[in-house]
Structure 1
Amino acid sequence: MAIIQPLWKSDPIQYILNWKFPQLAAFSIRTLADVSKTLQDRDISKEVEEYRRQLLSSSPEDFAASLEQAKAAETKRLVERLESEERQRSFNQPHSVLVDFDYWSTISFWTIDEAVSLSLKREPRHLSWKHIQSNASVSAFAAQYAARRELAMRAKVMGQLWESTTPAAFLAWAGRTNFSVPAELVAAVKGLGIQIADWKTLYDQANEVAQSAQALVKEKHSALMAAMADHSQSISTLTEGYNGLLAQRDELIGLKDNRIESLTAMLADMERTLSTPRQKPLGARERDSFLKLVIGMAIKGYSFDPKSGRSTTAKEISGDLALIGLAMDEDTVRKYLAEAKQLLPGDQTDRDR
């Protein structure tokens, strides 16, 4: 099939002439001879011929400008004609545009065609889908109606709408799918105290509440588990510290027992020494041995520091002796310790040599 090119492309000069002289377009004139023959009784034939010569002799830029001007004028005339035809169609007349939203809000259900008509601010009782469908290719409103009806019919197939749908259910579907509807229609339905919702909307709302509650419970659970972990760590730290204190206590008790054992042994030796009949006082060698025994047990058993000017060892020994029923005052113990430390090597005492 041959493709028919538009006149502005196949014969741009004639296209411009038709724009400049609308009478030519009415007679479908194609040649200058036709112009002279058709317009022989008219005065414009010379004007047409003169303007044609001007176009032929004009620069490419000027010719292109004239062509664009003619195309723009034709487009404008076409738009104005289509708008005029659109205004004259029955579904754009006042009786179709004036909608009683209050009346339609009280209807128990809407058909698909009624709902689509109301969404476009048209009175459903004055519209016919058959008539609109026949104008869908030439009318902007009819094309829009057909497109919106297609959306609603597909929603019906999927069970989102029905052939008889309540106003609340339709408006809820429209709000969920961005299917625009007049604010006046929504206000009229809400004015009756009707909640605009369908099962999908109610389900989505309930699901949203459930998810929010689940998220809150999860957050609270995480916080509780974190607190329990911190508490467990604190208990572990306290237990570890307590066990450390028990170990220190046992160590101190053991050290005390060792001191008592050493002191008991020392006293036993002293008792044996004192109970042994002596024909004469201890000699210097025996006394030194006794003092060495005293200083050795004091250092090892009581951590006695011979270099310390102030020591509590004498007090501790005197106290431990009292615990086992043997009395010896602190000064006596201190005297023996002072004598005994003189026997230590030179690097362990400050005594004068």
Structure 2
Amino acid sequence: MGKHSEVDFLLDLRFPKYTTRIRERVLKAMKAAKKPDVSDEVVDLVRAELPFRSTSMWADPQERAEALASLSKQFCSLSLDERKRERWRRYIDDACGYEGDLLSMDDDQLLEIANGKRREMAANARAEAVARALELDRWAFFSQPAADADFRHWLAMPSWSADEAVALSLGKDPRIVSSATLARARKSVFRQDYEMRMEQFRRAILLGDLTEAIRPSDLSGLGKRLGMNLPHEIASLHYSEGELLKVEISMLNEKIRELLAENARLKNSDDFDRIPTRSKRSLLKILLGIAIKKYRYRPGHRSGAAQKIAGDLLEFEGLKLEEDAINSWLTTAVDELEYSARAEPSTS
């Protein structure tokens, strides 16, 4: 790959619609308008040849929101078409500026950034695959209550086979969960954990740390040495009272860490962008319709609607919203729905 290939790769990640075709149109428009900057003539020439919605150009929803919010104060006196032009201008400025920054980098710096992005994409792809597999596992037969181990029954046995020991070490009933029954769960994360533990037990048997007929206390001891997360019923077989308390505290701390990580993930996710397009448009229609009908909001004009909405929301506990945020959502609704003031009903 050459330098330009890496630049194109990074550009496509940040501005997915800023293709070679658009860059050619920008240069062509500048030449036709005889102006080196992104003038109105240049923007209009590019828009005429590439008529897609500017709000979909930024790959990062946060970056898109910041770009549009920075223009919102200028929009009160602009028509819908003028607003679209300003978004195109901002988009072309951002993309051209980013391309210039990339081209000015030395090769090593550019490669480091590009390869870092590739590693990030690969990690995200793996995380998404694991998340999909975990969701499937949640509904699988081995996640049902009937698959949970009855330790009173199994701890009464003097020994377990390797397959039984693996299932029990994962808290499952060997009569329901085994290598044979997991064969059909091809993409299961649980199956991968099962196979990994089976490999650990096989190697322990080869080394003499376990016998072919595995005693429960031996499994408990091996789990302690290898740091395995074993069910309390098995782990307690090899622990003193003080050690058992430490294990229970460790298990609770691990659960707390998992819950905190999930909470952070949910807080950082852009929930609105995850809403299906049809539902999102319905919500924006409701917002815009109420703003126009009840608060006399007029896109492209100063109406004081956002201030009135913010004032009314103060009457309800927990519904406070800043005027700038309301203006931003109203602008988003107008742009996403491509709403024109000509479509407003008569108020006379």
TM range (shorter): 0.3 to 0.5
Q: Tell which has more relative contact order, 1 or 2 (C-alpha 8 A, sep 6+).
A: 2
TM-score using structure 1 length? 0.36
TM-score using structure 2 length? 0.36
Greater gyration radius: 1
